[in-house]
Structure 1
Amino acid sequence: MNRKRIALAVGALAVVGLAVAGAVMYEPAIAPVTPPSPDSFDVQLKQEGARVVALGDCVVCHTAKNGKPFAGGLPLATPFGTIYATNITPDPQTGIGNWSEAAFARALRRGIARDGHQLYPAFPYVHFTHMSRHDVSAAYAYLMSREPVKATAPANALVFPLNFRPLVAFWNVLFLRPGPLQPDPAHDAQWNRGKLLVDGLGHCASCHSPLNAIGGEKSGQAFEGGIVDGWEAPPLNALHGASKPWTREQLVTYLRTGRASEHGAAAGPMLPVTRDLATVPESDVEAIATYIMSLQNGDAPHTTPAAATSMMSAARETTPAEQRGAVLFSASCAQCHGDGSPMQTIGERPSLAFSTAINADTPRNAIQMILNGINWHGEDAMNYMPAFSGVYDDRQVADLLAYVRAKWSAKPAWPDTVPLVAKLRKEDSAR
């Protein structure tokens, strides 16, 4: 009798568990609509939508290399496999043309597609959920007014069981906290606007925070740095710890132009973000900078002047790798980065002594800069750097790193970088 009761109890619990799981995972479809005409939206609302979409960096993630804007197909490498960005043009077959505004809002706020399937959290709906209703409407009006592009993204390549989308529902239970952000009365309007943009629409923590084993942002470690597409997204709460501590004004300039005096130029995944931010009102970027600067840990430290760093480097014996690197630097780099080079004396570019990449704890970004450079972007030639991945082998890149680290940084030498150069080169070629 007892065994029968236990069996019945276990069965009942299993039924209840399955019912709860089904309730958590199930999402109904929202009926498709006829694609709305671009003329049906208010002109002012579409203009505001352009601002919202730029602040959300939508085109950055939803545009493949050499692809049409917002047509998807960009691969995002994750520890669990590759996810391809979807088409968010108003094409009714392959994009979001038959999505109602309600379906669009649900995707942004809860990560659920129009047909009810779970979206992977590489799409930062955990931050977009804080967007205002007006911003959602504006973004919808803008995107629905773009040129429809018929383009189907490649199938995602994720490991089992993460390729089973309904499981994302349980991830959402752990990490999704829907609802608007409430203003903090202890701070002024600019700070609160910055917090809304950084924590919400701008989703800065998605890249600049470490992730846990299941891809969620680690609790209590927001803005402490992360890895994106092989690049290190540096901590946003340690800008006072840079070789030359950042100021709010420098951060505004950097976010709007992709470069800042005494710090250098944006590269990798951050470069297109700055190009988007160049299109929004300066007041938005000022608010972002105000909030980020309020996150800093401790006071700005005493820093070693660039000249003193160079003197310290000259006072010690150089290694063979540094000697080889010096020759390579003279051949390929000194024209722009050497002491007294035109880029510094005329272009007013900072010394490498202030470079975030050269002074970082790891050589990851310095490697990526040498391998990939900064692509030419129209007339913006001042932010250009040629790629050397096809010029130098792994050992030569490592020698260059040894030389620039020794000459322009007061920090200890990086360990042998050849293995990491080879690894990043392989990963970059696979993207």
Structure 2
Amino acid sequence: MRTRTALFAVLALLVIVAAGVVYVLYPAALPRGEHAAAVDATTQIITKGEYLARAGDCVACHTAPGGKTFAGGRAMPTPFGALYTPNITPDDETGIGRWTAEEFYRMMHTGVSRDGTLLYPAMPFASYTKVTREDSDAIYAYLMSVPPVNLKNRPHELKFPYNNRELLLGWRALYFRQGEYQPDPQQSKQWNRGGYLVQGLGHCSMCHTAINALGGSSTSREFEGGMIPNQNWYAPSLTSNHEAGLGNWTIREIADLLQIGVSHRGTVYGPMAEVVYNSLQYMSDDDIEAMAVYLKALPQRDSEPPPTSQARLVDPGTLELGRRIYGKQCAVCHDEEGKGHPPAYPPLAGNQSITMASPVNSIRMVLNGGYPPGTQKNPRPHGMPPFGHILDDREAAAVVTYIRVAWDNSGTPVTPAQVNELRKLLPE
């Protein structure tokens, strides 16, 4: 009896030891609890697609204010009239529920819809054409997994002759170059990843490249900055250190601005704040750093010598008025000498976004104020109050002029007429 008991004890001990060996050497062989269930391939593809859809900022255009996610219906004002974004939920009647992955890729890659309709370039297919088939399929899988919404697409309201889609053939011949992103073998893997994201899903050049009268942009002027049509914001040049050129920024400073919305060198407002809020804050640290590496390496195209202080061009009375207003309204946050208290309150002295040739953004901030985006790494951002209801055109012009020329800043003066013109264009 004792021998049998001892034998069972030895066998039990061997089983425990064997289980321990299996746990250490082959953990995947043991059964898992419900909280450690293996993720299947389909779930992985959908998760990847969700990430890529965020990288492409799809939700920003395809979700109307107060509307259902991806159900479309958002008005996109253009110089040619209003476009309304389509429903891209998997609803069979009004969305893309009957689309195949092949049809979805064709739309992304060529700008041609399922029924053969040519898409207007407000849909950034000129950038999305660079997206790989694998990534397109992942985005498609994700969109097919979201709740379907039965919401009929609203017809565009374009002026004649822009409502004739056949004219898009000419636009495409001039401005559309079809083809997936081709890695540069002379560059690092990180640089190429950043290039793929910036040129493709990020479609950064759509804002940071000037748009001409035909709604197209020149590749030779890519990232050189320009006004964003119908939004009355200026997207600064990323290739000029006189504007937002990043050549003398650190990778960390660029990455912080992209992912957090604030850095020790500046803060994002307006359309870029929406991009950070909807898209960039959700991207991985590695991808954000790759984008920063690519953007920092953009070739600088400064064709003029560095500007010098323009204070001598300003009427002394205007400069004094601006100084008084700044001391009363602005200095508590931005410091008497314009040094700011970064990252909460950006510096104004030496700030290239203040001294750009276009004063639009500076005027807008004084009139309307604004907040950087609330992000995962900066959930309670500090904002700037509006002063449009406190300052008249002359006073607003004076204070904007002051911050553009004080502390050796190299901006040019702003006139009351410029303030008034922008004030009339802005919503009350």
Q: TM-score, normalised by structure 2?
A: 0.79
Aligned pairs (5 A) from 1:81-120: 81-120=81-120
Aligned pairs (5 A) from 1:28-427: 42-152=42-152, 154-228=154-228, 229-239=231-241, 245-261=248-264, 263-275=265-277, 276-297=279-300, 319-339=316-336, 344-345=340-341, 349-375=345-371, 380-416=379-415, 418-427=416-425
1:402 and 1:120 map into 2 onto residues whose CA distance is: 39
TM-superposed deviation, 1:171: 1.9
TM-superposed deviation, 1:366: 0.7
1:258 and 1:64 map into 2 onto residues whose CA distance is: 23
1:45 and 1:172 map into 2 onto residues whose CA distance is: 32
Aligned partners of 2:239 and 2:245 also within 8 Å: no
2:149 and 2:328 map into 1 onto residues whose CA distance is: 45
2:286 and 2:165 map into 1 onto residues whose CA distance is: 39
TM-superposed deviation, 1:222: 0.9
TM-superposed deviation, 1:360: 0.9
TM-superposed deviation, 1:137: 1.0
Deviations 1:126-162 (A, max 9, x none): 1101111111011112222223334455543322111
1:45 and 1:298 map into 2 onto residues whose CA distance is: 40
Aligned partners of 1:211 and 1:226 also within 8 Å: yes
Query: 1:152–1:391: structure 2 CA closer, same or farther, 3 Å change rule?
Result: farther
For structure 2, the residue ranges without an aligned partner over 5 or more in a row are 1-38
TM-superposed deviation, 1:211: 2.2
State the superposition RMSD in angstroms.
Answer: 3.3
Query: 1:414–1:86: structure 2 CA closer, same or farther, 3 Å change rule?
Result: farther
2:356 counterpart SS class: coil
1:296 and 1:68 map into 2 onto residues whose CA distance is: 41
Deviations 1:165-201 (A, max 9, x none): 2321332233222222222111111111111112222
TM-superposed deviation, 1:266: 0.3
1:287 and 1:192 map into 2 onto residues whose CA distance is: 8
**How many residue pairs were aligned?**
383
TM-superposed deviation, 1:358: 1.3
2:405 and 2:227 map into 1 onto residues whose CA distance is: 25
Q: TM-score, normalised by structure 1?
A: 0.78
Aligned partners of 2:239 and 2:299 also within 8 Å: yes
Aligned partners of 1:113 and 1:119 also within 8 Å: yes
1:41 and 1:391 map into 2 onto residues whose CA distance is: 58
2:292 counterpart SS class: helix
The equivalent residue for 1:6 is none
Query: 1:226–1:298: structure 2 CA closer, same or farther, 3 Å change rule?
Result: closer
The residue type equivalent to 1:363 in the other structure is P
Aligned partners of 1:76 and 1:85 also within 8 Å: yes
Deviations 1:365-410 (A, max 9, x none): 1112223322485673324222334443433322221222232452
TM-superposed deviation, 1:51: 1.5
Query: 1:302–1:427: structure 2 CA closer, same or farther, 3 Å change rule?
Result: closer
For structure 1, the residue ranges without an aligned partner over 5 or more in a row are 1-38
TM-superposed deviation, 1:110: 1.4
Query: 1:384–1:63: structure 2 CA closer, same or farther, 3 Å change rule?
Result: farther
Deviations 1:218-275 (A, max 9, x none): 14111111222211111111247669932222111111111121x2210111112223
Which is further off, 321-330 or 282-291?
Answer: 321-330
1:395 and 1:408 map into 2 onto residues whose CA distance is: 21
Q: Percent identity?
A: 38
The equivalent residue for 2:36 is none
2:290 counterpart SS class: helix
Query: 1:243–1:201: structure 2 CA closer, same or farther, 3 Å change rule?
Result: closer
1:192 and 1:232 map into 2 onto residues whose CA distance is: 28
2:280 and 2:372 map into 1 onto residues whose CA distance is: 18
Deviations 1:319-360 (A, max 9, x none): 33333333433443233223389x945866442113333111
1:346 and 1:196 map into 2 onto residues whose CA distance is: 31
2:364 and 2:389 map into 1 onto residues whose CA distance is: 13
The residue type equivalent to 1:215 in the other structure is G
The residue type equivalent to 1:325 in the other structure is G
1:353 counterpart SS class: coil
2:218 and 2:363 map into 1 onto residues whose CA distance is: 26
2:82 counterpart SS class: strand
1:164 and 1:181 map into 2 onto residues whose CA distance is: 31
2:323 and 2:340 map into 1 onto residues whose CA distance is: 19
2:155 and 2:402 map into 1 onto residues whose CA distance is: 43
